[in-house]
Amino acid sequence: MVIWMLWKNRNDGIWNGKQLMPQDLLIRTEGWLQEYHKWHKSGTKKSMKVQQKWQRPGVDWVRCNFDGAWIQQGSRGGFRAVLRDHLGDFVAAVAGPLGWTGSAFHAELCAAQHALLLAQSYCPDGKRISFEGDSNLVMAAMKGKEDDRSPLGNIINDLRFMLQSFPGSEVSLVQRGYNSAAHRLARLGLGSTHQIGWCENPPDLLRDILFEESL
């Protein structure tokens, strides 16, 4: 995938006079790789479980989907979050690496933190936010009221405090497939050396999903 992307980028430079930056090359290559795995999975039994489909939030609402990634070897983590408005239009997104990350739960909690920070930066006053993730433990932790004294309690308590700045907003558990826009950025954060953000114009990696889900 990487070699093919480099070859296409070289040809675009020669024949069309335009080339992608190295970070954009990695993002697009990751998208191709995920699409390949999507359509070349080994045969498995079809699940009878009804699959959720992403839906637009109500007027004056913004939907924020977030996801975390974790690799046990090296205790590395990554995060990503995507904001869309009531029309299904892209507002902003962010992805990046985490410092030392002890578990998948730890990575998901940190992803929720970055989702809240993203919403604080790009959602105007008066907008209510629907925060959606696919980790049952994280959703339960965010909804809790009492002071958390667990090893990750400082992050959990910070999440609850940050949620207070979004009155009337909600936190919901969704299926992993429903969280596809955030999941499409999967492992991008793990391979990055710094946080990457997008505003108004989504990365090429998300365009097909955003278009399909906005219909």
CA distance to 31, 63, 169, per residue, from 207 (Å): 10, 17, 27
Q: pLDDT per position in the chain (215 positions), as tens?
A: 889 889 989 998 999 998 877 766 765 676 567 667 666 665 545 555 566 788 889 998 999 999 998 888 888 889 999 999 999 999 999 999 998 898 889 999 999 999 999 999 998 777 899 999 988 889 989 988 888 888 888 999 999 999 999 988 999 998 877 777 887 776 666 777 889 999 989 888 788 888 888 76
Answer positive or negative: Cα dihedral of 139, 142, 143, 149: positive
Return the bridge partners of 69, or none: 78
Residue ranges and CATH numbers for the domains of the chain are: 2-38 (no CATH), 61-214 (3.30.420.10)
Tokens representing 145 are: 């009221």
Helix ranges restricted to H, the chain: 2-11, 22-39, 104-122, 136-143, 153-163, 180-184, 188-191, 204-214
What is the model's pLDDT at position 106? Answer: 92
What is the model's pLDDT at position 79? Answer: 93
- Cα separation, 175 vs 108, in Å, equals 14
Residue 119's identity, in one-letter code, is A
What is the model's pLDDT at position 21? Answer: 76
Select from 66, 58, 64, 54 the least CA-distant residue to 211.
54
What is the model's pLDDT at position 145? Answer: 83
| Cβ partners under 8 Å of residue 93, min gap 6 | 80, 81, 82, 83, 118, 185, 197, 198, 202, 203, 206
What is the model's pLDDT at position 102? Answer: 87
What is the model's pLDDT at position 35? Answer: 62
* pTM across the whole model: 0.74
- Cα separation, 69 vs 107, in Å, equals 6
What is the model's pLDDT at position 1? Answer: 84
- Cα separation, 211 vs 116, in Å, equals 24
What is the model's pLDDT at position 133? Answer: 92
